[in-house]
Structure 1
Amino acid sequence: MKDLLLKYKEVILYLFFGVCTTLVNIVSYAVLTRSFGVGVMASTACAWALSVAFAYVTNRIWVFESKVRSFTGVCREIASFVGCRVASGAMDIFLMWLLVEMMGFSDMIIKILSNILVIIFNYVASKFWIFKKKGQ
C-alpha cells in the first residue's frame, strides 16, 4: 500500500488539492451569488481568481515540489501558471455563460461539472509544462 501511495503521490496530492481548489471556487462563487447578490459572470471571475491563487501555492509547494528559486524563474513559473489558468478560466466562464445564462441549466450543477474539466486540463498543463522537471 505504501508503495502505491509513493508511486501515485503526485496524482493523489493533485487530486486532493484539486478538490480543495474546486471547493474554494464553488464556495466563493456561492457566497458571492447567494450572500452578496453578485451576478453569475462576476462571481465566476472572482471565484476563479481566488482558486488560481490557492492552486498556485499548493501546486508549487506540495504537488510538484518546484525547485525553482530564482526571481526570473519564479516569475516565469507564475506567468505560465496564470496563463494556463486564464485558458481554463475562460473555458469555465464560457461554459457558465452557454449552459447557465443561455440554456438555463442549474448554475451549481454546471459549476461542478465545469470544474471537473478544469481540473483535468490544469493537471496536464502543470505536469507537462509549468512544473516540468528537468529530463521530463
Structure 2
Amino acid sequence: MKKRIQCLLDNELFAYLFFGIATTLIAILSRLVIYQLSHQELLATGLANSIGILFAFITNDRLVFKQARKNWSRRLVKFTLARLFTFGLDLVLTFIFVTRFPEIIGRFVNNNLDLVNEIETLSAQIAIIMLNYFLSKLYIFKKTR
C-alpha cells in the first residue's frame, strides 16, 4: 500500500491535484479557525489565503516539482504573482458571466442566477487549476535537478 501511494505521489499531475486539494482544505480550515478567534471576516480571508498560498508553494516546490533549495525566494515571488493573476482572472470571469452578462449562461438554466454562479464557479476553477499548473510547470518550477 505504501509503495502504491508513493507511486501515485511520484506522478507529477496526481501530486499536483492531491496537494491542491490539501491546500484547499487547509485554507478553509484556517479561515474558519481565524474567524472563530477574531470574528474579523476580512482578516480571516486574507490570512487563510496567505496560508494557502504558502502551503501550496512549499508542497509544489519540494514535493510536486522537486526543486533544489537554490533560488526558492525568486520562485516564491513568481508563484505569488501567478496566484494573484489567476485570482484576478477569477474575479473578471465572475464579473463577466455572473454580474454583467448572466444571460450568456442563464439561457441554458432558465436564467437561474444561482445555477449561473455555480456553473461559472466550476468552469472558472477548472480553467484556473489548469492555468496554475501550466504556469507552475513552465514559468515557476523549471527542472533544476
Fold shared, TM-score > 0.5 on shorter chain:
yes
TM-aligned CA deviation for residue 130 of structure 1: 0.7
Unaligned runs of 5+ in 2: 103-112
User: Do the aligned residues in 2 keep the contact of 1:81 with 1:130 (CA within 8 Å)?
Assistant: yes
Contact kept? 1:60, 1:66, Cα under 8 Å: yes
Q: CA RMSD in A?
A: 3.9
Shift of 1:7: 9.7
Partner of 1:15: 17
**Radius of gyration: which is bigger?**
2
Partner of 2:69: 68
Secondary structure of residue in 1 paired with 2:68: coil
Pair 54,95 (structure 1): closer, same or farther in 2 beyond 3 Å = farther
Superposed CA deviations along residues 7-45 of structure 1, whole A, max 9, x for unmatched, are 96111101111233345567788x6xxx98x69xxx6x7
For residues 1-136 of structure 1, what are the structure 2 equivalents within 5 Å?
5=7, 9-23=11-25, 48-69=49-70, 73-102=71-100, 103=102, 104-106=113-115, 109=118, 110-134=120-144
- 8 Å contact from structure 1 (residues 100, 106) kept in 2: no
Identity of aligned residues (%): 29
Using a 3 Å threshold, how does the CA distance of structure 1 residues 7 and 54 change in structure 2: closer, same or farther? closer
CA contact 2:53–2:80 (8 Å) conserved in 1 = yes
Q: Which runs of 5+ in 1 are unaligned?
A: none
Structure 1: distance between partners of 2:56 and 2:9: 22
Shift of 1:97: 2.2
Q: Report the TM-score, using the length of structure 1 for normalisation.
A: 0.66
Alignment-mate amino acid for residue 94 of structure 1: V
Residue of structure 1 in register with 2:107 after alignment: none
